[in-house]
Structure 1
Amino acid sequence: MSSNTLSVVLEKEIRRLCLNDFPCGYGSWRKTKNSTEEAETEATDALLDLLSCPHSPWMCDESWSPQAPALRQLAVLTPERLQTDFIHSYFTAIRIVDRGVSVIDDGLLKFSKLQELVLSANMISEIPAENLPSSLTILELRANRLSTLSSLTSHPPPRLHYLSLGSNILGSHEDISHLTGRHWPQLVCLDLSDCEFQDQQALLNALCTLPCLKSLVLEGNPFTLASCYPGFTVDSLPQLSFLDASWISPEDRRRFKGLAKISDLIVDRASATVSVGRMKGIPDPMMSVDENTPEFPVVTYGYFITYEFVCHQTTVSLKLDSESKFDAAATAHETQDSRSDTDLHSKKNREEETSKRDTQNLTVYTEETCHDIAHVSRHSTSKLTWSECMDFSDTQTHIVRDLGGLKRFLNKGLHLRIEEEKVLSWPAVSEDATMTKPSRTVKEKKGRKGKESPIKSGSTKDKSNNKKKKSVPELIQDTPIRRIIGSVHVPLQNLVKRGQKVDVLCDLGALHTESEVEATQTLEKDLGKKVKEDKKEEKESKPRGGSSTRQKNTEASKGKGKGRKECAMDVLTQSSVSVQLEPVTVELSVELEKWQSASEAHQLVLLHQNS
């Protein structure tokens, strides 16, 4: 018989009790009335002490059954009673947790007086009811691989009072049909937590038929994310005393009275409100701008927050192929303010690099956060210019009908990203200048600023008008360059476990400005070039002197290279010290809407009908 069979595991545990070995059972170690060798025998009290002493080498694991220590004591006091049938019938409670059990065989029927059976965290996919003792009153099957209840309800234990089926793959309408009073007439406590039940109305209609049900655990199911939970459940099950380990008070009954009878009530819809507040700690992008920087292009920076959330309609495809990745990246760079038709070669290179960078980030983010979720939408806050504290005050309400997808999304968490938008603005080129000298570059135009125009006007008045026009030139913007400067993962599992709101201050750590990053990369590149040049000089310089001269030159060359390297590292260290070390923080809250009373639900229904 396989080692993952329940009866095999139980027999191993019974053998580990050593009921026939010292200090239990019969043996020469037992002191009797006719014993003559006093030194080789032990009194009964001494043998019992060896069983219970924490430092005794004869201690064994007795946690799998509360009857195990008592059975060992009987093996010392009255070993003649320990027959096989007596041992099996002695156990009333068995707890086999996380032992890899996958099969419940008919060997369990030997335990004829078993009342409590705990088989949590195993690999059981089917519960044959004919192999369960009829004396069973407590059955716990939490965190197994159950996907159907048909075999369990074929001949269920008639005296069962407590049934735990949490953390299993249950939730179909067939499973709901097996949770009625016809199958469980004496069931008092039922645990269905962390399953996949989505049809709240159908499940409650079935549970209403359980005549003795007093305690019910439903947390972690998709329908518990709906706005009507727990009020709809409280009003639908008047016989219930405890819901999700909380006592249902008379005040709760009064507040939710009539909620289950409201017509047109939508019970399978969740409403989640995501709020983005203040952001602090972004380094000033203009801090490191040199005073001698040319007047053009004019560089402006904007910042906004993006995240993805489950939505009612399909807005973003999660299974991105190569084409859709490119489209998503291109969409991320589009802006309504883009009016430029100029296709400069340098601008194209910048756009291509930025597009590749953003596409990779988008792909990783989508695969990590939204796997197996049907529909998500990307939301962006308004764009703000830099300040020490940027208050977005962005609130977005997401209506979700796919409660299963919402549960998976919340378990994986939300990824929040900070994006920076850089826009280069150039002076517009007049039509006359373009016709006269179309090949003149922007740099040449800047170099000729303040000089006389090669095209002479007819009067001094025209010159003054041209100067006025040049003083406030019309600017044309390049396509914005966007980059992700920081991201953070926000856990939301608490919303699945009875939590209604997650309020967190996201810490993204210290960020670097674009100029500081470029400066660091330049220093590292220059350092690499200097090291290569030193190595090249060392190879080319081959002195004709003796070995001592060659050794001196080599050491001098190494010292020179080392000095350059240390000097460059000092510059790099000084540059990094000047970086803003204040961490970037973003205020974020995610709240699930929960109706607090039947009257509130009734008003919302009327509002929805009139809208």
Structure 2
Amino acid sequence: MSSNILSVVLEKLIRRLCLDNFPCRFGSSWRSANEKRAETEETDALLNLLSCPHSPWQNESSWSPQASALRQLAVIRPEPLNTHFVYSYFTTLRIIDKNVSIIDDGLLRFSKLEELVLSANKISEIPAENLPSTLKILELCANQVSALNSFTVHPPPHLEYLGLSSNRLGSQEDISHFTGRHWPQLVCLDLSDCEFQDQQALLKALSTLPCLRTLLLEGNPFTLASCYPGFTVDSLPQLSCLDALWISPEERRRFGGLTEMRDLIMEQVSATVSVGRMRGIPDPMMSVDENAPDFPLITYSYFISYGFFSHQPAANLMLHNESKCDPAAAAQKMENSSSEADLSSDRNCEEEKETSESNTQEITVHSEETCCDVAHVSRHSTSKLAWSDCMDFSNTQTHIVSDLGRLKRFFNEGLHLRIEEEKILSWPAASEDITAAKPSQAAKEKKSGKGKETSLKSGSTKDKSKDKKKKPAQELVQDAPITRVMASVHVPLQSLLRRGQKVEVLCNFGFLHSVPEVGATQTCAKDQGKKIKEEKKKEEKEPKQREGSSTRQKNSAASKGKEKERTKSEVDDQNDNSVSVRLDPMTVELIVELEKWQSASEAQQILPPHQNS
């Protein structure tokens, strides 16, 4: 028989108990070889062999608390235990992560079974006819259950706890099975981490369960909405505990009347992303050489970019349809559109320096279930700031999302934050006036005589001095911006699915070992080396008559040694400074917060006036 059948797995576990062998019973093989010793063996010694940590007869019995008790019973009772007695002895079975995929009718032999835990298996169907009628607790967490049709035909009548978390449930048909007609005695229901999106329909069905007191819903897409958990608390007045938290009378009072607001937008999420201060960016001007030419003039600016879930634009509906037929072609078109968006953002970068930037670049994310399920992530950017020790972006953007299922998958994947640097080269603009004035001036000089040349020269010098005073600031022409990603980090957002309202984190990008700092240190060292060489040449060119004095030679040698020591210490200090700059990690303050209504009155203030009346 296949090992993925539940009854086969249970039979193997029962055989491993060795109920018919030593030391549980007086096995025939042990008794024939040690007849006299068997009569003198004490019961306590046999029981000790079952529980001693170093005993070779110790057996793993975590799959049922009755397993070890049954072995002890076999020691105390030498007569054999029949099969019916063994199966009826078990009241709890916990078969976890055993690759079980089929619940067969062999389970009915456990006639007194009350608790059945089958978590982390591969069960896709729950046949109610194969479940004992005595069952009170059924746990099927983390399986592959996608339908409940066979489960609610003849469900266990005394079931009090039902755990279906982390399964493929969430359709309207699944909601119709959670009614009081099917579960009249259900006290606790776990539907966390499923795919339910219609909160109103689910709560309407759950309100018919007369004995429901504990409910777990966190991890479903609709729990991200602003009306959760207030709408749930007000819809289920008999509920005592929601998502492992007790419902207080004050909480019931605050959310009272929320279900009567029929015009509430239920399936909508308001998420706010705030980017604060950034520290740890090395100063780019440390690499500037004093002997470098004046042009090009280089300016640096920095900004933060991140991807956040967005709805599929109408212009991309055709692309989404094409992706169902040809995903490769659709991905190629999306890549082309992304490159065009990057080019357009580069052209308009000067206009977006003081305001928040939102590029329309779309990133396709294929889910594990199907390649046709495409989630779109838009790239958002803060304003660009010039370098400083602490750059405060104070950027806040609110995202309104109604596709809760895909937003849940986005939160599971997390947010990617990037630090980007923009570099712009500026050159002096070509002047047409200067080029036009040169030939006219040469023509005048040819017409005038030699005697007038001096007057022209003297006059030209005066004019030049006046021009310097009246000359306006030089116009500069800028090249296309050069943008590079300095560092990136992944920010997990799974806590927002566990009734968490805010994720506040200091993103640590690590240390930036920048090349400009090393270059600056090397440049300083080269400058000090040039000074030493120049001083040596000056000393060699001094007159020989000054070299006659021995005292002067000693003084010059001493001053020379002091200069070398001073130069060496300066270079060491500069090296130490460069290392100290690199020791500061790059950090960015980030907050992702979901809007949650704290009371019914707060929700009423958000509604338009005509909906409140």
Q: TM-score range by the shorter chain?
A: 0.7 to 0.9
1:301-320 aligned within 5 A: 301-312=300-311, 314=313, 320=331
1:508 partner SS: strand
Contact 1:242 1:248 in 2 (8 A): yes
Match of 1:528 in 2: none
Match of 2:261?
262
2:403 corresponds to: 402
Partners of 2:112 and 2:64 lie apart in 1 by: 13
Q: Give 1:149's aligned residue.
A: 148
How far residue 53 of structure 1 moved from its aligned partner, in angstroms, is 2.0
1:404 CA drift (Å):
1.1
Is the contact made by 1:316 and 1:378 (CA closer than 8 Å) also made in structure 2? no
Q: Which residue of 1 aligns with 2:15?
A: 15
State the TM-score, normalizing by the size of structure 2. Answer: 0.78
Q: Which has the higher helix share?
A: 2
The 1:274–1:256 alpha-carbon spacing in structure 2 relative to 1, beyond 3 Å, is same
Structure 1 CA distance for aligned equivalents of residues 131 and 386 of structure 2? 69
Q: Aligned in 2, Cα 1:207/1:430: closer, same or farther, shift over 3 Å?
A: same
Map 1:536-551 → 2, pairs under 5 A: none
Shift of 1:469: 6.5
Distance apart, 1:310 and its partner CA: 1.6
* CA gap 1:258/1:93 in 2 versus in 1, 3 angstroms: same
Equivalent residue runs for 1:148-227 within 5 Å: 148-227=147-226
| 1:63 aligned onto 2:29 | no
* Correspondent of 1:337 among 350, 373, 396: 350
Matches within 5 A, 1:409-448: 409-433=410-434
Pick closer, same or farther for the CA change 1:608–1:389 going to 2, 3 Å.
farther
Q: CA deviation at 1:44?
A: 2.2
Contact 1:30 1:43 in 2 (8 A): no
Matching residue of 2:533: none
- Check the 8 A contact 2:267/2:404 in 1, yes or no: yes
Quote the residue 1:497 is aligned against. 498
For 2:162 and 2:315, the matched residues in 1 are separated by 41
Q: Quick check: 2:286–2:517 contact (8 Å CA) kept in 1?
A: no
Instruction: Single out whichever of 10-19 and 66-75 deviates more from structure 2.
Output: 66-75
Distance in 2 separating the partners of 1:316 and 1:52: 70
Name the CA distance, whole Å, in 1 between partners of 2:305 and 2:104: 54
1:242–1:12 distance in 2 versus 1, CA, 3 Å? same
Alignment of 1:110-121 (within 5 A): 110-121=109-120
1:65, 1:236 → 2: CA distance? 38
Amino acid at match of 1:507: N
Alpha-carbon distance, 1:329 to partner: 3.4
| Residues 338 and 425 of structure 1: CA distance in aligned 2, closer, same or farther (over 3 Å) | farther
Higher CA-based Rg: 2
5+ residue gaps, structure 1: 340-358, 438-454, 523-569
Q: Is the contact between residue 268 and residue 401 of structure 2 (CA under 8 Å) also seen in structure 1?
A: yes
Instruction: Specify which of 599, 602, 605 is matched with residue 607 of structure 2.
Output: 605
* TM-score for the superposition, normalised by structure 1: 0.78
How far 1:428 sits from its partner (Å)? 1.5
Instruction: Note the C-alpha offset of 1:208.
Output: 0.8
Are the structure 2 counterparts of residues 582 and 609 from structure 1 closer, same or farther at C-alpha, using a change threshold of 3 Å? farther
Over 3 Å counting, the alpha-carbon distance change for 1:520 and 1:237 in structure 2 is: farther
Structure 2 letter corresponding to 1:581? L
Following the alignment from structure 1 to structure 2, what is the Cα–Cα distance between the partners of residues 519 and 150?
73
Answer yes or no: is the 8 Å Cα contact 1:373–1:409 preserved in 2.
no
Greater shift in the superposed pair: 586-595 or 513-522:
513-522
How far, CA to CA, are the matches of 1:589 and 1:608 in structure 2? 34
> Does the CA-based 8 Å contact 2:159-2:183 persist in structure 1?
yes
Contact 2:307 2:416 in 1 (8 A): yes
Match for 1:589: what amino acid? I
Q: Deviations over 1:126-172 (max 9, x none)?
A: 11111111111110000001111111112111111100000011111
SS at match of 1:73: helix
* Structure 1 equivalent of residue 106 of structure 2: 107
**Identity over aligned pairs, percent:** 69
**Any residues of structure 2 matched to 1:123-142 within 5 Å, and which?**
123-142=122-141
SS in 2 for 1:67: helix
Q: Tell me, in whole angstroms, the C-alpha distance in 1 between the residues paired with 2:588 and 2:219.
A: 28
Report the secondary structure of 1:80's partner residue: coil
State the 1:54 CA deviation: 2.3
Structure 2 unpaired stretches of 5+: 321-329, 353-358, 439-455, 524-571
**Shift >6 Å, 4+ stretches:** 315-319, 368-371, 434-437, 455-462, 517-522, 573-576, 607-610
Provide Cα deviations, 1:100-148, integer angstroms capped at 9, x if missing partner. 1011111111111111100000011111111111111110000001111
